[in-house]
Amino acid sequence: MSRLLAAVAVMAAVTLATRAAPFLLFSRKRPPAFLDYLQRYVPPVVMSLLVLSSFKDLPFRQSPWGIPALAGAAATALLHLWKRNVLLSIAGGTAIHMVLLRLM
């Protein structure tokens, strides 16, 4: 119980810190050019790494060879390229993943 509350408190504080940092650091002066560069290219790198990290521990060498997750992610991406509806993409991809997980 106290471990859960401590975890929530830490997560809340860290999340608020990431959101408040730019406002606290750059309320008076302009952000340096290097940060401007990073803010353009860090998001694509971070998103790619988060997707990779979701897949890194999959059991690719035994049944079902990671297929439910790969197919779910492919379905999510295709749905999103097609309809560009965040909810539909997430719900559709997750549904396909859950069905394959039970069938395979």
Partner 1 sequence: MEPTAARAPRLGTLAAAFRAGLPVLLGYTTIGFAFGLVLTGAGLPWWLSPLMALFVYAGAAQFMGVGLLASGAGVLEIGVLTLLMNARHAVYGLSMLGRYEGAGAWKPYLVFGLTDETYGLLTTVEPPEGSDRIRFYGLVTALNQLWWLAGCTAGAGLGAALPFDTAGLDFALTALFTVLLVEQLRVVRRAEPYLVALASGALALLLADSRDFLLVSLLAAAAMLSALRGRLDTDGNGR
Q: Write out the residues near partner 1 by the rule CB under 8 A.
A: 3-4, 6-12, 14-23, 26-27, 31, 33-57, 68-69, 72-73, 76-77, 80-81, 86-87, 89-91, 93-94, 97-98, 101-102
Which distant-in-sequence residues (6+ apart) come within 8 Å of 31 by Cβ? 22, 25
Q: Count of CB atoms within 10 A of residue 61's CB?
A: 7
CA pair distance 19, 57, nearest whole angstrom = 30
Shortest distance in whole angstroms from residue 99 CB to partner 1? 9
Q: Which is nearer to partner 1, 18 or 62 (CB)?
A: 18
Shortest distance in whole angstroms from residue 32 CB to partner 1? 11
